[in-house]
Amino acid sequence: MGRRARDRRRQQQQQQRQERGEDGGGGDQAVRAGPGGTGRGGEGRGGGRRRRRADGAGMFQGWAGGYPEIVKENELFERYYRELGIVPDGEWGDFMAALREPLPATLRITGYRSHAREILHCLKEKYFRELQHLEVDGQKIEMPQSLSWYPEELAWHTNLSRKILRKSPQLEKFHQFLVSETECGNISRQEAVSMIPPLLLNVNPHHKILDMCAAPGSKTAQLIEMLHADMNDPFPKGFVIANDVDNKRCYLLVHQAKRLNSPCIMVVNHDASSIPNLQIDVDGRKEVLFYDRILCDVPCSGDGTMRKNIDVWKKWTTQNSLQLHGLQLRIATRGVEQLAEGGRMVYSTCSLNPIENEAVIASLLEKSQGALELADVSSELPGLKRMPGITKWKVMLKDGQWFEEWKDVPSNRQTQIRPTMFPVKDEEKLKAMNLERCLRILPHHQNTGGFFVAVLIKKSPMPWNKSQPKVHQKLPQRTGDAEVTAINSDNGSEPITEEPTLDENEESKKKQELQNSDTEQSKKEGVCGPPPSKKMKLFGFKEDPFVFLPEDDPLFLPIQKFYALDPSFPKMNLLTRTQEGKKRQLYMVSKELRNVLLNNSEKMKVINTGIKVWSRNSDGEQFGCAFRLAQEGIYTLYPFIHARIINVCIEDVKILLTQENPFLSKFSSETQKKVKDMATGSIVLKYDPDPAKPDDLQCPIVLCGWQGKTSLRAFVPKNERLHYLRMMGVEVFKAKRKEEESQNKTGEEVQHRLAQTEEGMDVEDKEHDLVTKMEAEIGEKSSHSPVENSAMEVENKIEDLDQSGRNANSHVIQESKDTDTSNMKD
């Protein structure tokens, strides 16, 4: 059925309801009338569309009457937290008032890129100043304020709600800036309290990090930034393994991580409570991989998110916490098992409930028998207002019945309530736990959401793992050493080393060789496919294998020669996603992640890793190299490239970013001289700031480009172009607005942002085809002065390319829901 037919049908249904005397303007009848309507406000699509279209006929005024307002009251919630006393005396009224207010918008500037200061300068001097003395719907807009506890003024909050930002014409310019910079990865719109756990991990670039429950990925992005604190090091020794149990949310996680263009991130899909032990090769021996830092941001009831997830007001009961406690404890236990000695694990929830917080930490500390301790972080993040953890609490059922001790729980309730939910009764043990070192963030103290954080330090192996040495197994070519008998990872145990006898060695040698033959062959070929084990249930899409380029691959030699790659270039870290046929894309990972991939392909389901550094060019072979540079990986590749680099001035950069295919005559004489003797093909365009010109952009820029016979252009995604133009003071807002008007997109179409994929023909491929055609046309015509394209025309063309590139790919699933409101964690 076409759109017009659906509209006619809706109009007929509306008329029939009017004839029957139904009022479509509000109330429950209007809600029930929509096909997607429900008894609580018509959340389905049908009801919403009907109300909007009817508004055009003058029958409705916007969304008024369509969604009955949720009453922000919950008697059981108030009774429970009053009794527990987590809110200081005299502050209960402020606490409840804050929960009923909408959550302020917060944003974070990504800190690992060298131009973070330029973005901050642009925000403060341009966009924030324009908000001064501005009123929207009679409400005065407060100037955004930096979060006092976040380092280097890289996090800000404002009283602007999402609704005001999206709908107000006065704020359209600021909103477009936020959207564009977010898609580039330069800004992350993230709740303030969600920024705390990564900061308390104290990450260094050499740390091996596990994010156990990572989706949707805002905290993971912070961890990646910290790894790349030194931008002069393209391959830090550390890495992030980001895990999530939900296959679809893993692709959302990939989309978030891809914005940061790091070769040190790997996304995997496992149940965090039984995530397998991984092994790495260390000097010819296999060792179990222990992580220096673990982020354990577990699933929770989310009653700290009431300000943005207002459904929690109606749905909250103590039953949610009772059901989640066991899962949270299992995930935290698995986390500390995989933590290295001296390592740090941060446990966090967006819940205020001690059953999900202190009870989990107390149980973990008790069974660790001194192997774990709570870190004192009171001196970290100065300026952050926090409450200490509590040592006494009670357990309540959803019917309001309280229990103070496990012995008071009747037998018919002991499946709902477990002993680990109660506080420790031994006063000496309780004092030694130092539960007051936990921190609870209350909403009314700094106008945030509610949150809980505990920082654990591992001093020695867990009691049930003490027999396990660090070195487990030598590689197969060495014999006579200890072998590992792996216990099923589902039970949360770690491998235990056994010393086989000579007879056992002789008898099992052939069996072991047969079992490992396929695996070792795959490792030799550099192929890392999905786990073949029948014991592991794999959901979602079957992922393509990760195939590392062999040393003697003839594909690499022309690339190395064309770009004059440095001898230190780690070519062994290059991989593709295809075993057969032409390799369309080349990706790169760090040496450490390559080690993880090659030694664990049977154990884990890898969703994504690596950044694209080269892309096959359909006509590239005639220019000397079949692969052109990809903008995603240019900052990683640039230190190794010694040829085909053109240094350009800031005026040249503006031309490259605002004109589609500018002729060489448009550029400065210095640039023309450099290009004159250079062969056609992919190039690097480098801008270095001039300290003598402080008004110019003061951060370096590296762009991928293409040199033609008579022209020079940049291969840069649309939002990244707009980002650089803003940093150089070029106004792009008007062009953006005209583009949106000309495309006449509906609000629903704008909300569905599809993630770019790494397989198939991407945007840059299509841009290059366009360039090739234009080059052919230019070669036939005389080189008269071309008509300059405006920034708006550049955006229009690239937007068309973006859309066609997205339609051509189906590798990545992008969730259509708003990530901030659909997720309880961030």
Q: Which residues are catalytic?
A: 350
**Strands (E) located in 459-560:** 471-474, 483-485, 496-498, 527-528, 546-548
Maximum CA extent, the chain: 93
Nearest alpha carbon to residue 256 among 294, 293, 214: 214
Nearest alpha carbon to residue 176 among 438, 611, 168: 168
| Pairing label, strands 208-211, 291-297 | parallel
Taking each helix axis from N to C end, the angle separating 247-258 and 218-227, rounded to the nearest 10 degrees, works out to 40
| Pairing label, strands 574-576, 546-548 | antiparallel
Kindly list the distances between the CA atom of residue 453 and the CA atoms of 197, 347, 442, in Å, as whole numbers in the listed order. Answer: 7, 6, 12
Q: Contact at 8 Å (CB) between 283 and 238?
A: no
**Strands (E) located in 530-657:** 546-548, 574-576, 585-588, 606-609, 611-616, 627-629, 645-647
Nearest alpha carbon to residue 699 among 152, 108, 113: 113
Nearest alpha carbon to residue 180 among 739, 767, 771: 739
Asked if residue 218 belongs to a known ligand binding site, the reply is: yes
DSSP calls for 46-72: HHHHHHHHHHHTTSS-TTTTTSPPPP-
Q: Contact at 8 Å (CB) between 298 and 359?
A: no
Asked if residue 800 belongs to a known ligand binding site, the reply is: no
Asked if residue 528 belongs to a known ligand binding site, the reply is: no
Any bridge partners for residue 612, and if so which? 587
Q: Contact at 8 Å (CB) between 698 and 118?
A: yes
Asked if residue 668 belongs to a known ligand binding site, the reply is: no
Asked if residue 297 belongs to a known ligand binding site, the reply is: yes
Q: How far apart are CA 760 and CA 454, in angstroms?
A: 44
Residue linked to tokens 């030699």: 557
Chain centroid offset of residue 306 CA: 23
Q: How far apart are CA 783 and CA 512, in angstroms?
A: 70
Q: Contact at 8 Å (CB) between 433 and 360?
A: no
Q: Which 3 state secondary structure label does DSSP give 143?
A: coil
Please state the three-class secondary structure of 798-818 as a single string: HHHHHHHHHHCCCCCCCCCCC
Q: How far apart are CA 318 and CA 352, in angstroms?
A: 11
**Strands (E) located in 149-269:** 155-158, 187-188, 208-211, 239-244, 265-269
Kindly list the distances between the CA atom of residue 204 and the CA atoms of 208, 221, 235, 238, 593, in Å, as whole numbers in the listed order. Answer: 9, 14, 13, 8, 17
Any bridge partners for residue 109, and if so which? 187
Asked if residue 217 belongs to a known ligand binding site, the reply is: yes
Opening angle at CA 44, ends 38 and 45, nearest 5: 145
Q: How far apart are the first and last CA of the chain?
A: 39
Peptide bond into 216 cis (omega under 30): yes
Chain centroid offset of residue 454 CA: 22
**Strands (E) located in 606-680:** 606-609, 611-616, 627-629, 645-647
Q: Contact at 8 Å (CB) between 368 and 336?
A: yes
| Pairing label, strands 483-485, 439-441 | unpaired
Q: Which 3 state secondary structure label does DSSP give 121?
A: helix
Q: Which amino acid type is present at position 242?
A: A
Q: How far apart are CA 10 and CA 53, in angstroms?
A: 9
What residues are designated binding site?
213-219, 244, 271, 297
Annotated binding site for S-adenosyl-L-methionine: 213-219, 244, 271, 297
